[in-house]
Chain A
Amino acid sequence: MGKMRDKLKQYLKPGYYEKYDYHWGMTIDLDRCTGCEACVVACQAENNLPIVGEKRFKERREIKWLRVERYWEGEYPNIKLRFIPMLCQHCDQAPCETPCPVAATYHNQDGLNTQIYNRCIGTRTCAVYCPYEVRYFNWFTYKWDEPLEQQLNPDVTVREKGVMEKCTFCIQRIRQAKDHAKDDGRRRVRDGEVTPACVQSCPTKAMVFGDLNDPNSRVSKMYKNPRGYKVLEELNTLPKIVYLKKADSDV
């Protein structure tokens, strides 16, 4: 019985909170974000997102791991348009992880919500369960018109039809940084050494990425910003992306 109880405890409090090295997180400052969508292209370039074509857009089958949502507020002439970049929140209590029958999506030791493409059998349950709707399904096997395939990132798989895919926080870059750290004989990756493609490209520096286990990392400090909030926090999915809400002008 004691053993069972230990197992249960272990299950209720998974290790990635303190046991392992990293707990990757991100903040997005909506006061800086202009909705220019540079991040969207950066993501597409880095992660081999397919060029799906007009027809697929019409069918709403586009694949954009990171999309910018827009919301109008008010009516003309007192009208505002607000942008919010929406990407996988890497929830610590991810609703998408429980229902996958083959465990193709799970939390890894870095606190990332990961998707193993070649384990996926395409039940699409994760996409149904995801409240942020950031999981994208490969309805077809997409082709790149020659020679566009030459720009494909060799560090990222090209997904085939029937597979779910989503933001990985550019895990290939994390891997690269860890590799460099090991080469230098360091145990840990330095703050700022890993930047996902979207964060790297952001023209207003609205996004900050880093390790939440490190109290001195930039992202940990941004996490404490009083403007911070999490989208759909009431669902208790514990998303790891903190948005900093748009500030009021003090003029």
Chain B
Amino acid sequence: MSISVRDALGTFKKPAVISIIGLIGFIIGYVIDVTVFSDASPVQPINFSHRMHVSKNSIPCLHCHVYADKTPSAGVPGVSKCMGCHKVIATEHPEIQKLATYWEKREPIPWIKVHDVPDFVYFTHKRHVLAGLACQECHGPVENMDRVTRVSSLKMPWCVDCHTKKQVENGRDCWTCHK
């Protein structure tokens, strides 16, 4: 019998190929999951279009997200705010009728969170807005989106990158953002 290593390795060729194919499959599967089945753009209970409101009707962000420059949280407008306009505007639209149903039942609309940071992160909209950051820098061109899609990863490297680039004071101290 031969003592050639290559010959001996030949025996294990097939299992190796199978494992490699399996690994490639795994990677493909994962990539498919994060791209195709991404949670960056969830389907909302009401088909609300930012494009319609912001681009077409020129409503500024802070008109609805009233708390963004005042508190850590930007705030979703209350149902009453929506109804403020939609009592008269586009009342026949099926989506607006959905809204009206919520309003009649005095129920909040169960919006699905698109931009979410973990519980151990301290993030304040106020400081970012007051520092002169445009909403679009993090949220992307929302004004052109029919359904809001997350464009930033909202992961720590992404935060740190920007803090580093903009030379935020103490921007790289852990306790600036963690709690």
- By a beta-carbon cutoff of 8 Å, the part of chain A in contact with chain B is 106, 108-109, 112, 114, 116-119, 155-158, 168, 171-172, 175, 179, 182-183
Contacts and interface: CB of A to CB of B under 8 A. Distances in A.
Interface in B83-133: 118-120, 122, 124, 126-127, 130
9 contacts: A106-B174, A109-B173, A116-B175, A155-B122, A156-B179, A157-B120, A171-B179, A182-B127, A183-B130
A114 B175 contact: yes
Contacts of B124: 179
A158 B179 CA distance: 9
A183 B130 CA distance: 9
A240 B174 CA distance: 21
Interface residues of B, number: 14
Interface of A is mostly: mixed
Nearest to A171: B175
A156 B122 CA distance: 9
Contact of B122 (A106, A112, A175): A175
B116 to A, nearest CB: 15
A109 B175 CA distance: 10
Given A117-B120, A158-B119, A179-B127, A108 B173 contact: yes
A114 B179 contact: no
B132 to A, nearest CB: 13
Contacts of A179: 124, 126-127
B19 interface: no
Contact of B174 (A116, A155, A158): A116
B178 interface: yes
